């Protein structure tokens, strides 16, 4: 039994007061901005979260001072250095160091200032490269990582352990969620360093605009991935904050995956690109399959709402609109 009298599977009912002060760390990023929109939709009136130009979460003193001045009651830790397979594989030192510093600073400050509820966002890449699919939360630390994202994975696992340690040592009802590959409005569309879905949107769009007869995507196209719209992740985050209190992380996904080749067909369709598609097998494939077992989340009464075809069409519309208005991040 814990603070909220949770059932053995962590189920609780602990609605958040809509006037409580919520700090969304990483509130300008893909996940954090979706969480922010969700909180506004749900009637939260005191959501805070400075941009990185105002508060660099890697700077410990600045983070502690900011917490002392702002005193949030609830924290959603969605801030991280993130990127696609090439960014992770070529900048492991930054991925390890930045993510460790961001997490330790925010979690320590939250601890020092008695934050009552905290949700830490990890990633599905924390799980072993070769493990039973769909991946259950229990697979954590049972095998070796995919080498293209081991630095990021180790940092995120340290975050999960810090949350568990705080629960154990101080009895605070903090929790962790592990989202699968995310996409949606506000994503990073960098041609080299973004994740596959925004990369494909950009590549197919540019090929359509220039009349290019073919596009070349990375790898073999055979790896399987699962994609969750950021708005669905945000819904899950609030649901977990109000319905879950236990040590173990909770996977957040759709429970369905597809090959990168199938994903490319969906994106080409959404963009209206009619040329041919080739695959550059000199580029890395990464892990062969990454599908989350979402039964823990389903048992807590949550399911995603946005289908992949619909989500890609909406994200493509967002991309075009922001490309034209010059407000894309890359
Ligand atoms: P991962 O899930 O950590 O491997 O991250 P990504 O989203 O970067 O890549 C997923 C898969 O898509 C990998 O198999 C990539 O090789 C493949 N892929 C195909 N084309 C691209 C591309 O243009 N950019 C990225 N990032 N991945 C691509």
Centre of ligand 1 to C-alpha 1, Å, is 42
Q: How are beta strands 175-179 and 289-290 bridged, if at all?
A: unpaired
- CA torsion sign for 257, 259, 263, 265 is negative
Catalytic residues: 152
pLDDT band of 327, cuts 50, 70, 90 = confident
* Backbone φ, ψ for residue 119 (5° rounding): -120, 120
State how far the Cα of 217 lies from the Cα of 238, in Å rounded to an integer: 36
Is a pLDDT exceeding 80 seen at residue 51?
yes
Residue 218 in contact with ligand 1 by CB distance below 6 A: yes
Q: How are beta strands 175-179 and 250-252 bridged, if at all?
A: parallel
**Which residue's C-alpha comes closest to atom 22 of ligand 1?**
196
pLDDT of residue 226: 98
Centre of ligand 1 to C-alpha 59, Å, is 31
Q: How far is CA 79 from the centre of its chain?
A: 9
Residues 83-131: pLDDT tens digits? Answer: 999 999 999 999 999 999 999 999 999 999 999 999 999 999 999 999 9
Residue 99: CB atoms within 10 Å: 24
Which of 195 and 329 is assigned the larger pLDDT? 195
pLDDT of residue 2: 57
pLDDT band of 330, cuts 50, 70, 90 = low
Ligand 1 atom nearest the C-alpha of 85 is 8
Ligand 1 atom nearest the C-alpha of 225 is 2
Cβ atoms of 120 and 177 closer than 8 Å: yes
Q: How are beta strands 224-225 and 289-290 bridged, if at all?
A: parallel
Residues 58-80: pLDDT tens digits? Answer: 999 999 999 999 999 999 999 99
pLDDT of residue 8: 78
Using most ligand atoms within 8 A of CB, pick from 126, 286, 288 the residue to mutate for ligand 1.
286
Is a pLDDT exceeding 70 seen at residue 16?
yes
Centre of ligand 1 to C-alpha 302, Å, is 28
Centre of ligand 1 to C-alpha 32, Å, is 22
Domains and CATH numbers, the chain: 22-184+226-256+290-306 (3.40.50.720)
pLDDT of residue 297: 97
pLDDT > 70 in the chain, percent: 99
Residue 123: CB atoms within 10 Å: 24
Using most ligand atoms within 8 A of CB, pick from 82, 83, 85, 203 the residue to mutate for ligand 1.
85
Centre of ligand 1 to C-alpha 193, Å, is 10
Is a pLDDT exceeding 90 seen at residue 9?
no
Residue 217 in contact with ligand 1 by CB distance below 6 A: yes
What is the rounded average pLDDT for all residues in the chain?
Answer: 96
Bond preceding residue 327 cis, omega within 30 of 0: no
Residue 262 in contact with ligand 1 by CB distance below 6 A: no
Cβ atoms of 121 and 78 closer than 8 Å: yes
pLDDT band of 1, cuts 50, 70, 90 = very low
pLDDT of residue 162: 98
pLDDT of residue 93: 97
The model carries a pTM of 0.96
Residue 196 in contact with ligand 1 by CB distance below 6 A: yes
Is a pLDDT exceeding 80 seen at residue 233?
yes
């Amino acid at each position: 039994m814990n603070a909220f009298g949770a059932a053995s599977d962590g189920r609780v009912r602990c609605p958040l007061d809509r006037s409580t002060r919520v700090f969304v760390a990483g509130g300008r990023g893909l996940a954090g901005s979706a969480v922010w929109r969700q909180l506004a939709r749900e009637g939260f009136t005191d959501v805070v979260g400075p941009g990185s130009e105002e508060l660099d979460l890697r700077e410990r003193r600045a983070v502690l001072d900011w917490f002392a001045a702002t005193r949030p009651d609830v924290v959603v830790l969605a801030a991280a250095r993130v990127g696609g397979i090439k960014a992770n594989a070529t900048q492991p030192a930054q991925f390890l160091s930045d993510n460790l510093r961001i997490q330790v600073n925010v979690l320590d400050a939250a601890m020092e200032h008695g934050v009552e509820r905290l949700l830490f966002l990890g990633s599905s890449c924390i799980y072993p490269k070769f493990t039973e699919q769909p991946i259950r939360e229990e697979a954590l630390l049972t095998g070796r990582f995919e080498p293209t994202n081991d630095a990021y994975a180790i940092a995120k696992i340290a975050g999960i352990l810090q949350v568990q340690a705080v629960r154990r040592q101080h009895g605070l009802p903090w929790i962790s969620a592990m989202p699968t590959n995310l996409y949606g409005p506000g994503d990073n569309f960098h041609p080299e360093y973004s994740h596959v879905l925004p990369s494909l949107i950009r590549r197919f769009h540019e090929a359509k605009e220039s009349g290019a007869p073919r596009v070349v995507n990375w790898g073999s196209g055979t790896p399987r991935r699962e994609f969750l719209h950021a708005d669905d992740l945000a819904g899950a985050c609030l649901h977990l904050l109000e319905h879950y209190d236990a040590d173990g992380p909770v996977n957040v996904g759709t429970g369905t995956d597809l090959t990168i080749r199938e994903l490319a067909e969906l994106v080409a369709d959404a963009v209206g690109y009619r040329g041919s598609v080739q695959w550059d097998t000199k580029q890395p494939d990464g892990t062969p399959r990454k599908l989350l077992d979402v039964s823990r989340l389903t048992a807590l009464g949550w399911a995603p709402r946005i289908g992949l075809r619909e989500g890609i069409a909406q994200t493509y519309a967002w991309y075009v609109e922001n490309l034209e208005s010059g407000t894309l991040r890359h």
